Amino acid sequence: MSEDLKRLNKYLSEAGYCSRRAADRLIEAGRVTINDVIPEMGTKVAPEDVVKVDGEIIGERKQDFVYLAFNKPVGIVCTTDTRVEKDNIIDYINYPKRIFPIGRLDKPSEGLILLTDDGDIVNKILRASNNHEKEYIVTVDIPISQTFIERMSGGIYLEDLGKRTKKCVVKKIDKFTFSIILTQGLNRQIRRMCEYLNYEVQTLKRVRIMNIQLDLPIGQYRELTKEEFNTLNNLIADSVKTYEDNQESFRKSRR
């Protein structure tokens, strides 16, 4: 019987409702019930249990997962909480199935973002420890110096986040434009790095996530090709999904 039990956050992600991280937030907010009772974090679900989010029954998956590439316009917010944010990505795309974004681009930014209903793939792509590349084209307000390129590349301590950015690849494109490849996803990371060096971001566009290139008009989406998905799967094959997975991998490496 115990092998039939699933942690509630895993159940919600495998059902295609949201990622595990988002599921944890829903559980903490008391929006999830099991058999009409609000559960504690870490509660496990049995096959016969009825799971609801905001009163809506969430059932086991019966269809294939969806994987979309979307060119997000400036002004659209990467949230699934359609009750709070009117300019949200879910209403904008209006996809016929429930999907959610993998990561985020802030409201003033544009470019490539992936969406899916596969909760287990999310952390594999997003965790900085997995070193998956994301590439951006950025314009700033004053001419780019060699010192700027070197300091951005070498890592910058962001005092308000209490973290140093990882080393990254930064290349000057023209007087006011540069490209940057990150394997990290700190909140407003590029904008904060530029601000630290007294530059202000004018435009920020994500043009690549791992092997997926931005090739869509603004506001349009498409399904990943079979080749793109297979390559993506190969790239994340050895990626850990969660902190617990990461710790287990570390313990095994020490044996």
Cα separation, 70 vs 113, in Å, equals 5
Q: Is 106 a catalytic residue?
A: yes
Of 67, 52, 41, whose CA–CA distance to 12 is shortest? 52
Contacts 24+ apart (CB under 8 A), 88-96: 89/113, 89/115, 92/219, 93/68, 93/221, 95/66, 95/68, 95/221
Please state, in angstroms and rounded to a whole number, the distance separating the CA atoms of residues 169 and 180: 6
Given the residues 4, 87, 106, 141, the one annotated as active site: 106
Q: How many residues does the structure list for the chain?
A: 255
Active site residues: 106
